[in-house]
A and B are shown apart, each in its own frame.
Chain A
Amino acid sequence: MSVYEVLQVIIPSAIFFAAPLIFTALGGVFSERSGVVNIGLEGLMIIGAFVSIVFNLTFADTFGALTPWLALLAAMIVGTIFSLLHAVASISFRADQVVSGVAINFLALGLSLFLVKKMYGKGQTNQIQIGFDKIDVPILSDIPVIGPLFFSNTYVPSYLAIILAFVAWYVIYKTPFGLRLRAVGEHPMAADTMGINVTKMRYIAVMISGALGGIGGAVYATIISRDFSHATISGHGFMALAAMIFGKWHPIGAMGAALFFGLAQSLSIVGKTIPFLKNVPTVYLLIAPYVLTILALAGFIGRAEAPKASGIPYIKGKR
């Protein structure tokens, strides 16, 4: 295949792979920017995937083509509610946030598999019938060189993810809400003396991360695996976490990191057809994304500094 054809395969592939990671990583950015470490992104993705598949299977006949979108909405709502567990534990009860996040991961996996067993009597659900279709963006896909690369054979949620990254950037850096969010994450005491309700901000931030994590999981399950089993979300939440840190807690950075992961993975897959890489043993291509990440982190990204108050429960009045 020519270089152009190879790119035509790699880029859409990278984009659809990155979409769930972008959603979830953005959720992580909101949460950690406010000072609550959220390791439970994997659990939130699992819940999102579970809810969207169950919704899709149950209501596919009622809503027809609209079903996947409503499933995303349902996943968002349930993700928000589920993240409240983490919020209450970390903010109100001042538990260790990492432990709470890990608990969310266990709980989500166990609960969802148990419910699948209870509802369907099987270890995994059936495949959904109505998913997101591959589309060519109407006008943009006709642009001579870039069109077929970036705007053909892709899914709508992938573009939503990229647009959402810019929206998140705008919200966090250009609005009063975003400023307060960042203040709460850097120096909650100062924010508190200025009258910002630290607890409320953190709650909202964790709920946003729940919503976005749920959407991320739902997008993954609907587009890529089309059913829900114990193997559906296997490590993607942690990859999103890595993307967030790689992106230095910046929404655009997180998006870029997720796309980078997607690209590295696609490269490793298509590598076999590129004559240059054909004779490289498979194992090197498989570990390439991770090695590239380490190289990039060590060489190019520089220091990644978390928000200063991340991970520390805020006790009002404490010095």
Chain B
Amino acid sequence: MKKRFGFALSLMLATGMLLSACGGQGGDNAGGKDTFSVAMVTDVGGIDDKSFNQSAWEGLQKFGKDNGMKKGRGGYDYLQSSSDADYATNLNKLVRSDFDVIYGIGYLMGDAVKEVAEQNPKKHFAIVDTVVDEPNVASITFKEHEGSFLVGVVAGLTTKTNKIGFIGGMEIPLIEKFESGFRAGVKAVNPNAKVEVQYAGAFDQADKGKAIASSMYASGIDVIYHAAGGTGNGVFSEAKDLKKKDPNREIWVIGVDKDQAPEGVVKVDGKTYNVTLTSMVKRVDVAVYDVAKRSKEGDFPGGKTLEYGLPENGVGIAPTQDNIKPEVLKAVDEWKQKIIKGEVKVPMTRKEYKQFEASLK
């Protein structure tokens, strides 16, 4: 008797689940759609990681505001991923919610976007920071090497010890772009400066960042450029602590992805110092806005790889420039024009950097 009852119950539950799953999909297709809507799926940082997820969201928000869209379905929205298992799930959810353009933010989402794009050939997708070769995916990449070149110019002209450091997160081609561009910028303005490069192996290990920075500053380096996300927090921490111990010592950190001037504030005996020399900003918001705008006007760049560099204001030095001397700013501007005009080709990989270095001699 009990067994039969239990069996009947589980059969009912199973049928119920099956039916509700079918019903759900039908319901989503029923809603009419005549407004242009965009949505994004974030990486594990979330929309307020003070870095490029936040930047992308700001771009979408601006697009929404400029076009009178509301947040939510039919307007602009985002879904946050808490782990890489969520990527495909979130993308599929947005597909079913009928958004016109769906962004995947971050190179780690490349595979998920490719898979979902293949399954939904009629939908439009965009991916930031990597290339997905599908006719319905617009790949947004940035010329980080060009932006890094400019901050390299700043570093090369500001250093007093001629020793500069670069701390990378993981040793991947993306971060090599930062490294190569930076080293080229330093070499171009200051051939005597040496750049020491070290990778922490992770984007979320602030203690590794602090230890590497400690080692670098102890060896005489006075400017460190970090392309290491959360690991960079350790670099700022070390720089601020050293500054507090000896306010007269000139040490600098160059931030990345967004204006990291707030991270460099340190108070010593009532005086406020800032160890952030400048930052290499990546205008993900500009890129996201641009693709949304083009799609709305009917020109979705599917299958194309868009590269946002200096001319499009996709990368550049941070707006907070209190710590940069006027003549250095002038030099940055000159080099910026040279790169835009094509007179200088900024290396993207270590191999290209070696060729660049040879060409300077």
**For B265, what are the chain A residues with a Cβ–Cβ distance below 8 Å?**
127, 129
CB of A67 closer than 8 Å to a CB of B: no
**For A117, what are the chain B residues with a Cβ–Cβ distance below 8 Å?**
48
Q: Which of B211, B230, B240 lies in contact with A13, CB distance below 8 A?
A: B211
A124 to B215, Cβ gap below 8 A? Answer: no
**For B203, what are the chain A residues with a Cβ–Cβ distance below 8 Å?**
231
Assuming the contacts A1-B219, A133-B245, asked whether A266 and B205 have C-beta atoms less than 8 A apart, the reply is no
A226 to B48, Cβ gap below 8 A? Answer: no
Cβ distance B348 to chain A, nearest Cβ, rounded Å: 20
Nearest chain-A residue to B201 (Cβ)? Answer: A286
CB of A249 closer than 8 Å to a CB of B: no
Q: Which of B207, B215, B236 lies in contact with A220, CB distance below 8 A?
A: B207
**For A231, what are the chain B residues with a Cβ–Cβ distance below 8 Å?**
203-204, 206, 229-230
A269 to B48, Cβ gap below 8 A? Answer: no
A265 to B219, CA, bound (A): 18
Nearest chain-A residue to B210 (Cβ)? Answer: A224
**For B208, what are the chain A residues with a Cβ–Cβ distance below 8 Å?**
265, 269
Cβ distance A159 to chain B, nearest Cβ, rounded Å: 16
Assuming the contacts A17-B211, A127-B262, A286-B201, asked whether A225 and B44 have C-beta atoms less than 8 A apart, the reply is no
Assuming the contacts A123-B48, A129-B267, A226-B236, asked whether A234 and B241 have C-beta atoms less than 8 A apart, the reply is no
A8 to B220, CA, bound (A): 13
A234 to B48, CA, bound (A): 18
Q: Which of B204, B206, B236, B241 lies in contact with A133, CB distance below 8 A?
A: B241
**For A131, what are the chain B residues with a Cβ–Cβ distance below 8 Å?**
237, 240-241
CB of A5 closer than 8 Å to a CB of B: yes
**For A124, what are the chain B residues with a Cβ–Cβ distance below 8 Å?**
48-50
CB of B333 closer than 8 Å to a CB of A: no
A230 to B196, CA, bound (A): 29
A265 to B201, CA, bound (A): 12
Cβ distance A270 to chain B, nearest Cβ, rounded Å: 5
Cβ distance A113 to chain B, nearest Cβ, rounded Å: 8
**For B219, what are the chain A residues with a Cβ–Cβ distance below 8 Å?**
1, 5, 9, 273
A77 to B230, CA, bound (A): 28
Mask for B256-267, Cβ within 8 A of A = 1, else 0?
A: 000000110111
A267 to B219, CA, bound (A): 15
Q: B residues 21-76 with Cβ under 8 Å of A?
A: 44-50, 54
**For A1, what are the chain B residues with a Cβ–Cβ distance below 8 Å?**
218-219
Q: B residues 168-207 with Cβ under 8 Å of A?
A: 171, 196, 198-199, 201, 203-207
Chain B contact residue count (CB 8 A cutoff): 42
Cβ distance B174 to chain A, nearest Cβ, rounded Å: 16
Chain A contact residue count (CB 8 A cutoff): 42
A270 to B215, Cβ gap below 8 A? Answer: yes
**For A133, what are the chain B residues with a Cβ–Cβ distance below 8 Å?**
241, 244-245
Q: A residues 122-154 with Cβ under 8 Å of B?
A: 122-124, 126-127, 129, 131, 133-135, 153
CB of B214 closer than 8 Å to a CB of A: yes
Q: Which of A123, A234, A266 lies in contact with B47, CB distance below 8 A?
A: A123
Mask for B206-245, Cβ within 8 A of A = 1, else 0?
A: 1110111011001100000000011001101100111011
B215 to A230, Cβ gap below 8 A? Answer: no
B218 to A9, Cβ gap below 8 A? Answer: yes
A227 to B233, Cβ gap below 8 A? Answer: yes
Mask for A245-289, Cβ within 8 A of B = 1, else 0?
A: 000000000000000000001100110110000000011001000
CB of A38 closer than 8 Å to a CB of B: no
A319 to B204, CA, bound (A): 49
CB of A195 closer than 8 Å to a CB of B: no
Assuming the contacts A122-B50, A134-B245, A220-B207, asked whether A13 and B263 have C-beta atoms less than 8 A apart, the reply is no
Nearest chain-B residue to A16 (Cβ)? Answer: B210
Nearest chain-B residue to A223 (Cβ)? Answer: B237
**For B199, what are the chain A residues with a Cβ–Cβ distance below 8 Å?**
282
CB of A217 closer than 8 Å to a CB of B: no
Nearest chain-A residue to B267 (Cβ)? Answer: A129
Q: Which of B44, B229, B234 lies in contact with A224, CB distance below 8 A?
A: B234
B267 to A13, Cβ gap below 8 A? Answer: no
A177 to B290, CA, bound (A): 68
A236 to B202, CA, bound (A): 14
A8 to B218, Cβ gap below 8 A? Answer: yes
**For A68, what are the chain B residues with a Cβ–Cβ distance below 8 Å?**
none
Nearest chain-B residue to A122 (Cβ)? Answer: B48
A134 to B242, Cβ gap below 8 A? Answer: yes
**For B230, what are the chain A residues with a Cβ–Cβ distance below 8 Å?**
225, 229, 231-232
**For B48, what are the chain A residues with a Cβ–Cβ distance below 8 Å?**
117, 121-124
26 intermolecular pairs with C-beta atoms under 8 Å apart: A1-B218, A9-B215, A13-B214, A123-B50, A123-B54, A124-B49, A126-B262, A127-B236, A127-B263, A129-B265, A129-B267, A131-B237, A134-B244, A135-B245, A224-B210, A225-B207, A230-B44, A230-B204, A234-B205, A236-B207, A265-B208, A265-B211, A266-B211, A269-B215, A272-B198, A282-B171
- For the complex with contacts A5-B219, A134-B241, 8 further pairs of A-B residues with Cβ separation under 8 Å are A9-B214, A9-B219, A123-B50, A133-B241, A220-B207, A224-B233, A225-B237, A230-B45
